[in-house]
Amino acid sequence: MSVLNAAQQSAVAELLRVSPLADELGRRFGAAGHELHLVGGSVRDALLGRLGDDLDFCTDARPEQTLAVVSGWADAIWETGREFGTIGIQKNGLRIEITTYRAEAYDGVSRNPVVQYGDSLLDDLGRRDFTINAMAVSVPGHEFTDPFGGTADLAARMIRTPAAPQLSFSDDPLRMLRAARFAAKLQFKVDESVISAMRDMAPDLDRITAERIRDEFTKLMSGADPIAGLRLLVDTGLADRFLPELAGLKLEIDEHAQHKDVYEHTLIVVMNAMRLEGDGGPDFVLRMAALMHDVGKPATKAVGRDGRVSFHHHEVVGARLTKNRMKALKYPKDVTSEVVGLVALHLRFYGYGRGEWTDSAVRRYVTDAGPLLDRLHKLTRSDVTTRNRRKAAQLAADYDALEDRISRIAAEEDLAKVRPDLDGNAIMELLGVPPGPIVGQAWRHLKELRLDRGPLDRDEAEAELLTWAREQGHIS
């Protein structure tokens, strides 16, 4: 046990906010002959002054003993993590996880941890990922335990491992990705010895399931500084193991020659997108679309006779690559669809400033974007990274004009719900046909007319439908 310094005293003071409940729980474990300590991220966050309502505890009690202690006291209990030694409970609005001391290890082949229970708090802290997560506070005694210098590393804003990095990462290779995630979340630096081990052991990440990698990467992208985490992934070779398209961008020169390469341009676009997120918090879909928007460039790069570089249809190729990559990482279909949609649409705006867009083109832009329109606005604006101030100002003005035009047309029409002027029942009644393919074809034809010409009155819509049906041979 260590003598409390000022930072630790502050952490204990922060813990007093939840100590009545925590101490009560600690007394219950003590009465049953067990230890209980607040541990890991909860202690780290208390030191940083940001302790939330999710609390992590560790104990020498086995899961069945923990269940006996909390049964009848907790408002709710869940055992989904029991095979890993974790029992979850809810009490007075707090979510609490209680985990048996562990000595967790991999056999070097398996893709999930092999859980071994331990009996020592110090051994449990020693097997944790980073020193800033290897601190504990006993309850109800409030004794602070920091055997690996976690408070000093917090003060230095440094990420180190309690054991040698090679040993820590061999136990769980996902910790390499977690180092990048914490760099992004906390805006801390990663110790050089840790970076060196990440670089040497990057292939070991292949032992980890796609789902675990996906979850860590999502947290990294949602951090306060994802750029730092992304650079670390690329520089250590970790990105090559699960997101090779990102590192591949370093080989491609931006067609505007305003950045060292498309990789640097992409990172700037991600930062720009973050600035446009607003107060709603991190928008993973927007950030991921910004990260992936140009991944189709390597496959579409061409150099013309005049020496200019082009990437024709890279948005189409990029959308396909994004879909395949997110599928491989097991992202939900709805999340993948949104990111892919933004990548596919991110170039649609260019050309608007030449005055070629009709109201029909604006309707199609809005209709194709659908619920992604607000994010598409942000992504398109974020993609302007030219250092030419006049060009940047012109592009911004053009997009302002497009948004104003969308607002004007939306005030006249319901652009959010562009539908044909006749519904399926009216089509069947007018053409005298039953439900079937003809109705669908007629519906799509009328929707195209609606996009091209705007709203039609009933007589116009019926006349257009009948003309189409005669031309198609559906009526005489």
The confidence band for 2, taking pLDDT boundaries of 50, 70 and 90, is very low
Checking if the pLDDT of 465 tops 60, the result is: yes
pLDDT tens-place string over residues 319-353 = 999 999 999 999 999 999 999 999 999 988 876 65
The confidence band for 3, taking pLDDT boundaries of 50, 70 and 90, is very low
The confidence band for 202, taking pLDDT boundaries of 50, 70 and 90, is very high
pLDDT at residue 229 in the model: 98
pLDDT tens-place string over residues 131-160 = 999 999 999 988 889 999 999 999 899 999
Identify whether the C-beta of residue 35 lies closer than 8 Å to the C-beta of residue 121.
yes
Checking if the pLDDT of 444 tops 90, the result is: no
pLDDT at residue 412 in the model: 63
- Residue 338's nearest CA partner among 288, 384, 297, 280 is 288
pLDDT at residue 377 in the model: 92
CA-CA distance, 314 to 317, in Å (whole number)? 5
pLDDT at residue 299 in the model: 83
Checking if the pLDDT of 393 tops 60, the result is: yes
The confidence band for 252, taking pLDDT boundaries of 50, 70 and 90, is low
pLDDT tens-place string over residues 165-189 = 999 999 899 999 999 999 999 999 9
Checking if the pLDDT of 253 tops 60, the result is: no
pLDDT at residue 7 in the model: 62
pLDDT at residue 390 in the model: 85
The confidence band for 441, taking pLDDT boundaries of 50, 70 and 90, is confident
Identify whether the C-beta of residue 86 lies closer than 8 Å to the C-beta of residue 99.
yes
Distance of CA 412 to the CA centre of its chain: 37
pLDDT at residue 259 in the model: 41
Higher pLDDT, 57 or 455: 57
- Residue 21's nearest CA partner among 126, 78, 92 is 92
The arithmetic mean of pLDDT across residues 415-425, rounded, is: 63
CA-CA distance, 357 to 172, in Å (whole number)? 54
pLDDT at residue 1 in the model: 41
Higher pLDDT, 382 or 359: 382
pLDDT at residue 29 in the model: 97
Checking if the pLDDT of 105 tops 80, the result is: no
The arithmetic mean of pLDDT across residues 188-212, rounded, is: 97
∠ at Cα 318 (301, 345), nearest 5°?
115
In whole numbers, what is the pLDDT of the chain averaged over residues?
86
Higher pLDDT, 407 or 248: 248
pLDDT tens-place string over residues 354-371 = 666 777 788 888 888 888
The arithmetic mean of pLDDT across residues 419-444, rounded, is: 78
User: Phi and psi at residue 303, in whole multiples of 5°?
Assistant: -115, 120
The confidence band for 258, taking pLDDT boundaries of 50, 70 and 90, is very low
Higher pLDDT, 237 or 384: 237
Percent of the chain having pLDDT more than 70? 88
CA-CA distance, 305 to 180, in Å (whole number)? 42
Percent of the chain having pLDDT more than 90? 54
The confidence band for 309, taking pLDDT boundaries of 50, 70 and 90, is confident
Q: How many CB atoms lie within 10 A of CB 118?
A: 18
Sort residue 432 into left (φ over 0), alpha (ψ -120 to 50) or beta.
left
Higher pLDDT, 390 or 88: 88
Higher pLDDT, 423 or 324: 324
Task: Quote the tokens at residue 73.
Answer: 């006291």
Higher pLDDT, 19 or 165: 165
Higher pLDDT, 16 or 172: 172
